[in-house]
Amino acid sequence: MDTDRDIRTTPRGFHCNLCNVNLANQSSLDEHVKGRKHRTLSGVRTTRKAQEEHSLFVSGFNRGTAQTDLVDYFQKFGDIAEVIMDKDKGVYAIIQFSEKDSIQAALSQVEHQMKGLKLRVKPREKKEFKKVQKKKPDFKNLQELLEKLKPMLCETDSVNAQMQCVVERFQLGENEKKARGLLIQLLHEVFTEFFPDSQILPFGSSVNTFGIHSCDLDLFLDLENTKTFQARAKSTTQQAADGCSDDVRSEDSILSDIDLTTASPAEVLELAAAILRKCVPGVQKVQVVVSARLPLVKFHHRELDLQVDITINNRLAVRNTHFLQLCSGLEPRLQPLVYTIRYWARQKQLAGNPCGAGPLLNNYALTLLVIFFLQNAEPPVLPTVENLKQLACEEEECVIEGWNCTFPSLSISVPPTKNTQDLCSLLAAFFSYYATFDFASSVISVREGRALPVTSLLCHAEKNEEEAMEASKPFSQAPKLGPLNILDPFELSHNVAGNLTDRSQHSFQKECQEAEKYCRSLQYQRKSSKGKSWGLVRLFTPHSEGPRHGAQERPPEKELSIVLPFKPGVLPKALRSQLSLAGDGFRLLWFQGACDAVAKVFQNILKCGPASPPKSLAVEDGDTDDSADTSAELNMSAEHTDDDDGISSSGGAIPQGKARGGAKRPLTSESSDTSLSPREKKPRLGSGPKPGAPCWRWSQSHAVWAGRRKVRRELVKDTDTRPEGSNMELEMQVTQHIVDKEPVLQDPLEFKVQARLVGATQSTRVILKVRPISDNKLFFQDFFHFLEVFLPKMVDTLMEKGVKNA
């Protein structure tokens, strides 16, 4: 079976070659194989294989040969399903037959001739199916690029000059701008033919002053006026039909095929794609992408070697481009800072997803990080968006899709900054600012120029709904919160870094920490008299082993620990409100909730009982928390009071620090000051009252992990298709069934679970360390692998329901 071939065992579990993913254990592997990704790729591979087996490779015909000529010639061997021509050069074709036998028929003919030319006909090459990997800039490329830049940078006298040099080297040249302008003009002419009164507006890096040679051209096709035109034309046509007018202009227009007010974006974009294909010279690889956040049509311009993206609902992006232009006009240091930081981020593989969406920062998000840092410099280099709004005059007022986008159109309206720091020190300050930034509890607001506590957005959706109703504004969603939160300056419900993974956020901060360290060295600040690399050159040196990832940095705690990430999205409304009120202390409150859920999973769902008390505390101390804590981590179990276990009144083993008998210390938030700037807000989480340091000792007498899936299937009889861990009552029944039907384990499995809260400069999460305390180590491995998958899902389910109600 193909699936068997795809999977290989590794020292840490399994690896799926088809999808290129690692899987920790058998149950993750089973889930993966049944999952959408694996099934889709398997399906694609089967189709490709069938296509290969049904196809011939043909060459030797005339360049101008049409597909129909090939069909005419080859159909004598059997029905033809498809002919794929080599479009660029027209020198070969793939002929795909409906039946395999046709291949043999064609190949058995000794010679093929078409229009007097001898054809070469052979079986289509069979290629190993590989998932198309997104192009990643590899180390060699990055290193080569830097080698070219190095002599220029090393020759300059200061880091300030090096930064200016980076701008000169990368910025769009006048000719490039002109060529882009001509293409825009051409597109305008073509589109207005079909969409009367439409406009085509550039936005993004081509015009926001941060563009580099290879950057794409982002365009907004504005059809607002065309809609008006169409409505007017319709009524005129109606009048003409009624005999009142003879203007029937719209009859001839492409607009007679589509109603712009009711057509879907996909329909409009398909139309735009057809116009591009047919009417614009040099256009190739036209593709409509409807799955993007904002659907678009993209194409490549051959002569200009330029990637062009056209969107139709993107007025906000045009406006945020003007905002970036204004910031550049206000502050000449912004451009060299952005170019340098963009280049640094690219070299470290932190930013720029080569093929669109992905888990890295995009250039827009990165630019906002620079602006935010400058708003928070001392004294501020850039004003906040709110300040700018106050400085605008009445004519500059601008509201797009309900969002206030007002700011002055000219930089002269804004008072200059008093900050005189040079570029070299601002760059170093940028790295140190983000090296210690508390990403996990902050939301970066360029609008307000300060970090908002993440908790203030937990109730955002509800607040927005109320505000929207009061002001009859469009209701907006809460931003998608993640490991790095950057609110768009105008569309306040949009986290522009919402695509980032834990790993990429962690890498970004790690790199900032390393860069900060380097910027303190003499090599950064002083030109080498011996001609060695100095200043930016060393900062730009890529890592030879590819991007640095958080996972590599993590301590070996992963070995036997289970991570529960903070997921505000799954929390019930009431808890979100409580967390929001708790301000900085939200972590402790959430930690408490997560611990309650963990206890419930062991006690109520997996029906664990309390383990026998430790024989001697001295022995236990030896194996308590020996993990290497960093100062950035809040270790709630650091005092080792946790082994002083108490048994909760409900029968579970839920000690709360020294508070025995399940009594819980009240949780108070550490600070109600939710308006501190990140610099003031260095992690202070260790201070203030602590809740208990949860450490549970459980005992399990049944193999409740074994055969769960089968029992679940039997119990629901395929009526409940929800995945494992998403239905509390069902999981309780499954455990009960195993307890009732299966024999007890010869030796009960006794184990300890210790909870630790991590936060501040790392993502907020609970780390549960699980260890056996009985000799039953064999079963422990199986049980642990089961818990790795089951526990986080079950905790999410309980938290979603509200642990108390669950």
Could you list the residues that contact ligand ATP (CB under 6 A)? 203-205, 208, 215-216, 218, 317, 320-321, 362-364, 488, 494, 496
Q: Please choose, from the candidates 752, 506, 716, the residue with its C-alpha nearest in 3D space to the C-alpha of residue 608.
A: 752
We find the least distance from the C-beta atom of residue 221 to Mg ion, in angstroms, to be: 16
Q: Smaller CB distance to ligand ATP: residue 97 or 170?
A: 170
Task: Please give the Cα distance from 700 to 751 (Å, whole number).
Answer: 8
We find the least distance from the C-beta atom of residue 497 to ligand ATP, in angstroms, to be: 8
By CB under 5 A, name the binding residues for Mg ion.
Answer: 204-205, 216, 218
Q: Smaller CB distance to Mg ion: residue 494 or 600?
A: 494
Backbone angle region of 352, left / alpha / beta, with phi > 0 → left and psi within -120 to 50 → alpha: left
User: Which residue sits closest to ligand ATP, CB atoms considered?
Assistant: 204
Q: Smaller CB distance to ligand ATP: residue 171 or 774?
A: 171
Q: Smaller CB distance to ligand ATP: residue 54 or 494?
A: 494
We find the least distance from the C-beta atom of residue 539 to Mg ion, in angstroms, to be: 24
Q: Smaller CB distance to Mg ion: residue 204 or 652?
A: 204
| Contact present, 589 and 719 (Cβ < 8 Å) | no
* Residue whose structure tokens are 């491995």: 781
Tokens of 150: 């190095």
Reported for 528-531, long-range contacts at CB under 8 A and 24+ positions apart, including other chains, are 528/154, 531/154
| Contact present, 427 and 519 (Cβ < 8 Å) | yes
Residue 504: which of ligand ATP, Mg ion, none does it interact with, CB under 5 to 8 A by kind? none
| Contact present, 754 and 625 (Cβ < 8 Å) | yes
Element (H, E) at 719: none
Q: Smaller CB distance to ligand ATP: residue 70 or 172?
A: 172
We find the least distance from the C-beta atom of residue 343 to ligand ATP, in angstroms, to be: 12
We find the least distance from the C-beta atom of residue 460 to ligand ATP, in angstroms, to be: 17
Residue 437: which of Mg ion, ligand ATP, none does it interact with, CB under 5 to 8 A by kind? none
φ and ψ at residue 666, rounded to 5 degrees: -65, 145
Tokens of 91: 């020198």
We find the least distance from the C-beta atom of residue 179 to Mg ion, in angstroms, to be: 16
**Torsion angle of C-alpha atoms 670, 673, 675, 678, degrees rounded to 10:** -40
Task: Please give the Cα distance from 351 to 504 (Å, whole number).
Answer: 9
CA-based end-to-end distance of the chain: 43
Residue 508: which of ligand ATP, Mg ion, none does it interact with, CB under 5 to 8 A by kind? none
Q: Smaller CB distance to Mg ion: residue 286 or 653?
A: 286
Q: Smaller CB distance to ligand ATP: residue 317 or 647?
A: 317
Residue 570's Cβ-side half-sphere holds a number of Cα atoms within 13 Å equal to 19
DSSP 390: H
We find the least distance from the C-beta atom of residue 85 to ligand ATP, in angstroms, to be: 32
We find the least distance from the C-beta atom of residue 204 to Mg ion, in angstroms, to be: 4
We find the least distance from the C-beta atom of residue 199 to ligand ATP, in angstroms, to be: 17
| Contact present, 451 and 677 (Cβ < 8 Å) | yes
Q: Smaller CB distance to Mg ion: residue 314 or 375?
A: 314
| Contact present, 667 and 712 (Cβ < 8 Å) | no
Q: Please choose, from the candidates 589, 612, 334, the residue with its C-alpha nearest in 3D space to the C-alpha of residue 454.
A: 589
- Give the pairing of strands 112-114 and 92-97: unpaired
We find the least distance from the C-beta atom of residue 366 to ligand ATP, in angstroms, to be: 9
| Contact present, 647 and 653 (Cβ < 8 Å) | yes
Residue 724: which of Mg ion, ligand ATP, none does it interact with, CB under 5 to 8 A by kind? none
Q: How many CB atoms lie within 10 A of CB 478?
A: 20
Task: Please give the Cα distance from 644 to 637 (Å, whole number).
Answer: 12
Residue 208: which of Mg ion, ligand ATP, none does it interact with, CB under 5 to 8 A by kind? ligand ATP
Q: Smaller CB distance to ligand ATP: residue 208 or 442?
A: 208
